[in-house]
């Protein structure tokens, strides 16, 4: 019997066949695309061009720094080239370097750790909490040594997670807390803004972020001495600077675009929070789906929406096929975005030296951790089982968000009626052949 055999279609039409097999998609209206922009960005850049002042001396840069810092409850903002170099500037501003260790989570973009390497300090990779996907305080505590100088919590999907415990632990051990807020624009916990818990924070305006100018970054802090150190590094070619630095300044064009994006983001924030609440409520009722945990008094408008997918609750449907089925229902989605940090080629091979030279010892003369031997259970599970929705989905209508819940429910209901999933998939009397399945399977997959 073929996939489109009439008796097969009649047998399954009542339940609403999934779109991957020819049924109607749950959501027919396309979700918003990113970036969102309009004539305001065009006019803002045109005004900069007409001014003849295109560099960081244009007043728009200082205006943005003040606005952004105030919104995130910090005294100072420093606009820089991107959200990678912002971390490096902070680390150098704190005097962190050879022989020092910085604790970072295993679930983050690699830049969180390479920034530590760029200042010739050593990243100590630890596990995350399985519910919030943020630093596990117990793992952090076990990793603290006399060489530890800072802890770098990463607010994944904007969720601050265990930040209170991390700050308390850092205070007890006299350590710096550097917040990686690349995902956390506008997040608040009990009224306190992400970026204001630690001594300094780093935000990103890269092309995919919730506020974007294609590239750009922002440092926020309320520590005046640290701000001055970071400022001198950013403006390092200034002949009056007392610190080694470089040119890490943001252009006026970037600042003008970010300023418009920032204004729009403040309008989008309430809509995103409402849609996250809808998803939490709806998906939380589906067996085998478990949304990322948020503190009851946390507002995290989200760079991503993340949830666990338990294939057993879907009759063994592999995650990659679940993602393809959900995409076919009209919903942009994907698998967990990052591998465990220690499994990236850089850390597996320890190519930390000039020209990719392999290093066995750090710049303080101590052996690097054995990254190849690392197996951290919580991050391994997240990478294996989590599904993500991009943040542009959160700008959708309430009906589209309800369609996400409907689609997952439909996929589950139909999957449970199929006798098995395996190297071939059996749908009642119809067999989904190896040839068809191979077209859906990613290259090299054996699942």
User: What is the mean pLDDT of the segment spanning 79-103?
Assistant: 97
- Domain enclosing residue 154, as ranges: 39-261
Residue-wise pLDDT for 120-137, tens only, equals 999 999 999 999 999 999
- Residue 93: pLDDT above 60? yes
Boundary residue ending a domain (261, 294, 315)? 261
User: What is the mean pLDDT of the segment spanning 144-162?
Assistant: 98
Q: How many domains does the chain have?
A: 2
**Cα–Cα distance for residue pair 25/312, rounded to 1 Å:** 24
First-last CA distance in the chain: 25
Q: What is the pLDDT of residue 239?
A: 63
Which of 152-156, 228-232, 427-431 is predicted with the least confidence, judged by mean pLDDT?
Answer: 427-431
**Cα–Cα distance for residue pair 91/93, rounded to 1 Å:** 5
Q: What is the pLDDT of residue 240?
A: 72
- Residues above pLDDT 70, as percent of the chain: 89
- Residue 12: pLDDT above 70? no
- Position 419 confidence tier, pLDDT thresholds 50, 70, 90: low
Give ∠ CA 163-224-101 in degrees, rounded to 5.
50
* Same domain? 293 vs 277: yes
* Same domain? 250 vs 199: yes
* Same domain? 307 vs 186: no
Residue-wise pLDDT for 254-299, tens only, equals 999 999 999 999 999 999 999 999 999 999 999 999 999 999 999 9
Residue 1 domain-assigned (yes or no): no
* Same domain? 106 vs 205: yes
* Same domain? 319 vs 226: no
- Position 16 confidence tier, pLDDT thresholds 50, 70, 90: confident
Let me know how many helices (H) and strands (E) the chain has, helices first.
14, 16
pTM for the model stands at 0.90
CATH of the domain at 217: 3.40.640.10
Q: What is the pLDDT of residue 291?
A: 98
Per-residue DSSP letters for 193-247?
ETTSSSSEEEEE-BTTSSS-SBS-EEEEES-HHHHHHHHHHHBTT-TT-SS---B
User: What is the mean pLDDT of the segment spanning 427-444?
Assistant: 39
Q: What is the pLDDT of residue 14?
A: 37
- Position 72 confidence tier, pLDDT thresholds 50, 70, 90: very high
User: What is the mean pLDDT of the segment spanning 178-200?
Assistant: 97
- Residues above pLDDT 90, as percent of the chain: 86
* Same domain? 147 vs 274: no
CATH of the domain at 13: 3.90.1150.10
The answer for residues whose C-beta is within 8 angstroms of residue 343's C-beta and 6 or more apart is 374
**SS3 call for 329:** coil
pLDDT higher at 101 or 17: 101
* Same domain? 109 vs 124: yes
Residue 49 domain-assigned (yes or no): yes
* Same domain? 183 vs 218: yes
Q: What is the pLDDT of residue 446?
A: 35
- Give me the chain's average pLDDT, please: 91
* Same domain? 270 vs 191: no
Residue-wise pLDDT for 201-211, tens only, equals 999 999 999 99
Which of 26-35, 85-94, 96-105, 242-251 is predicted with the least confidence, judged by mean pLDDT?
Answer: 242-251
User: What is the mean pLDDT of the segment spanning 191-220?
Assistant: 98
User: What is the mean pLDDT of the segment spanning 162-183?
Assistant: 98
* Same domain? 169 vs 318: no
Q: Judge contact between 417 and 428, C-beta under 8 A.
A: yes
- Residue 355: pLDDT above 60? yes
Residue 406 domain-assigned (yes or no): yes
Boundary residue ending a domain (261, 282, 308)? 261
Give, to the nearest 10 degrees, the angle between helix 398-415 and helix 319-328: 130
């Amino acid at each position: 019997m073929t996939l489109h055999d009439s008796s097969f279609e009649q047998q399954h039409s009542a339940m609403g066949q999934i779109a991957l097999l020819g049924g109607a998609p749950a959501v027919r209206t396309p979700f918003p695309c990113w970036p969102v922009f309009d004539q305001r960005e065009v006019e803002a850049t045109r005004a900069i061009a007409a001014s003849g002042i295109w560099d960081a001396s244009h007043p728009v840069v200082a205006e943005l720094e003040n606005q952004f810092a105030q919104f995130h409850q910090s005294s100072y903002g420093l606009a820089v080239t991107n959200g990678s170099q912002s971390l490096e500037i902070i680390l150098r501003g704190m005097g962190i370097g050879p022989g020092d260790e910085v604790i970072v989570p295993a679930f983050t973009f690699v830049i969180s750790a390479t920034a530590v390497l760029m200042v010739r300090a050593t990243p100590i990779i630890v596990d995350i909490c399985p519910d919030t996907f943020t630093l596990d305080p117990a793992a952090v505590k076990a990793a603290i040594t006399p060489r530890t100088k800072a802890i770098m919590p990463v607010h994944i999907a904007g969720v601050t997670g265990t930040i209170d415990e991390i700050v308390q632990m850092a205070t007890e051990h006299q350590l710096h807390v550097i917040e990686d807020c690349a995902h956390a624009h506008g997040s608040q916990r009990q009224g306190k803004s992400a970026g204001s818990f630690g001594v300094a924070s780093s935000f990103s305006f890269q092309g995919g972020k919730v506020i974007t100018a294609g590239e750009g970054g922002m440092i926020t802090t309320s520590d005046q001495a640290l701000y001055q150190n970071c400022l001198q590094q950013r403006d390092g070619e200034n002949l009056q600077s007392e610190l080694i630095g470089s040119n890490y300044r943001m252009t006026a064009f970037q600042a003008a675009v970010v300023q418009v994006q920032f204004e729009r983001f403040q309008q989008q924030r309430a809509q995103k929070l409402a849609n996250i609440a809808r998803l939490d409520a709806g998906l939380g009722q589906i067996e085998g789906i478990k949304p990322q945990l948020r503190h009851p008094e946390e507002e995290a408008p989200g760079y991503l929406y993340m949830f666990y997918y338990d294939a057993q609750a879907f009759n063994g449907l592999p995650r990659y096929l679940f993602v393809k089925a959900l995409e076919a229902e009209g919903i942009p989605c994907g698998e967990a975005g990052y591998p465990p940090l220690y499994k990236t080629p850089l850390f597996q091979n320890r190519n930390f030296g000039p020209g990719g030279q392999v290093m066995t010892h750090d710049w303080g003369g101590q052996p690097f951790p054995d990254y190849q031997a690392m197996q951290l259970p919580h991050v391994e599970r997240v990478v294996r089982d989590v599904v993500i929705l991009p943040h542009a989905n959160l700008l959708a209508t309430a009906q589209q968000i309800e369609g996400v819940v409907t689609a997952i429910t439909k996929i589950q209901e139909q999957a449970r009626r199929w006798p098995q999933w395996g190297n071939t998939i059996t749908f009642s009397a119809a067999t989904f052949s190896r040839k068809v399945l191979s077209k859906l399977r990613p290259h090299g997959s054996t699942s």
